[in-house]
Amino acid sequence: MTRVLVTGAGGYIGSVLTRMFLERGDQVVAVDRFFFGRDTLPPEGNGLRVVEADIRHLETESFSGVDAVIDLAALSNDPSGELDPELTWSINCRGRVRVARLAKRAGVQRYILPSSCSIYGFQEGVLDETSPVNPLTTYAKANFEAEQQVLPLADEEYCVVVIRQATVYGLSHRMRFDLAINGMVKGFFRNGRIPILRDGTQWRPFIHVRDASRAMLMLLEASAAPVNGQIFNVGSDDQNVQIMPLAKVVAEAIGAPFEYEWYGDPDHRSYRVSFEKIRGTLGFHAECAPADGAAEVYRALQSGQWKADDPRTITVQWYKKLMSDGVNL
């Protein structure tokens, strides 16, 4: 049994990952500020302890008895990162570096920093963990700087791993419709047309939220030697896709005619990513494909499990509401 502290535990990935730990019989200290509701996590008990706190204010004693930390807490996605760039840096970079240092001081054995493939920005070719980065947004730049500051903390007693996740999709207990595949499904459900960010030729890697969570579990279970101080792209080579062909896959998966509408300015991010390293090191393979995720999200909308107009499902809009209500992010 592992005792793991998960920051951002009530978020899109965290709420799925936390349940996976609990299903395995692990103990979870779930740290979150719950901007999107406390109901994203189960009630306390049965291995779950909830700490409603800001990672910028955690102290060393918060990590007492903890074996590992997965540091998901962040202002998520590029638009949200631009609302207040200094705030983004304070949480996504300085806050998480602080968590990594406190965990080491407390004797935690393993620390995982979930970063993003968005740090690759716009580049040609297929990129691996040794490729140059090109972060174009505050969100991406803060992620990359956090990577640079936590990796040197690794030593024989403290295993530090950075993961660069592909764009995530699929159902969660903290649902997001501001992610490409989920947003395409929602757009068709509401308007009968799939929204496509111009110009549709941009490349992006994808991974289902359950597969992203499985990768973290595997990194916790792996022996330290092959993963300590390492960066791993997390995704699937066959899920490097261009946005227009992806929209066609989504339409087919939900049994819809391929009708679409353009939105936004041309996307300045386009990248394909190699996931050979995590496959070779851990034997990681994605179990879900974009069609699977699109179909499950569509069923959730049809059944009323999720409402297409729930304001919490568009991250930047919900943050704007909180800020207008006087909430300090």
This prediction's pTM: 0.97
State how far the Cα of 166 lies from the Cα of 209, in Å rounded to an integer: 10
- Rounded mean pLDDT of 187-202? 94
Residue 230's DSSP bridge partners are: 161
- List the one residue out of 45, 42, 20, 104 whose CA is nearest residue 69: 104
Buried b (16+ CB within 10 A) or exposed e, 142-178: bbbbbbebbbebbeeebbbbbbbbbbbbbbbbbbbbb
Domain residue ranges in the chain: 3-323
Q: pLDDT of 96-154, one tens digit each?
A: 999 999 999 999 999 999 999 999 999 999 999 999 999 999 999 999 999 999 999 99
The predicted-structure confidence for 144-186, as pLDDT tens digits, reads as follows 999 999 999 999 999 999 999 999 999 999 999 999 999 999 9
**pLDDT for the residue numbered 268:** 81
Question: Domain 3-323: which CATH class?
Answer: alpha beta
- pLDDT, residue 156, reads 97
The average confidence (pLDDT) of the chain is 96
pLDDT at 265 over 90: no
How confident is residue 243, by pLDDT bands cut at 50, 70 and 90?
very high
Burial readout 102-114 (b: 16 or more C-beta within 10 A, e: otherwise)? bbbebebbbbbbb
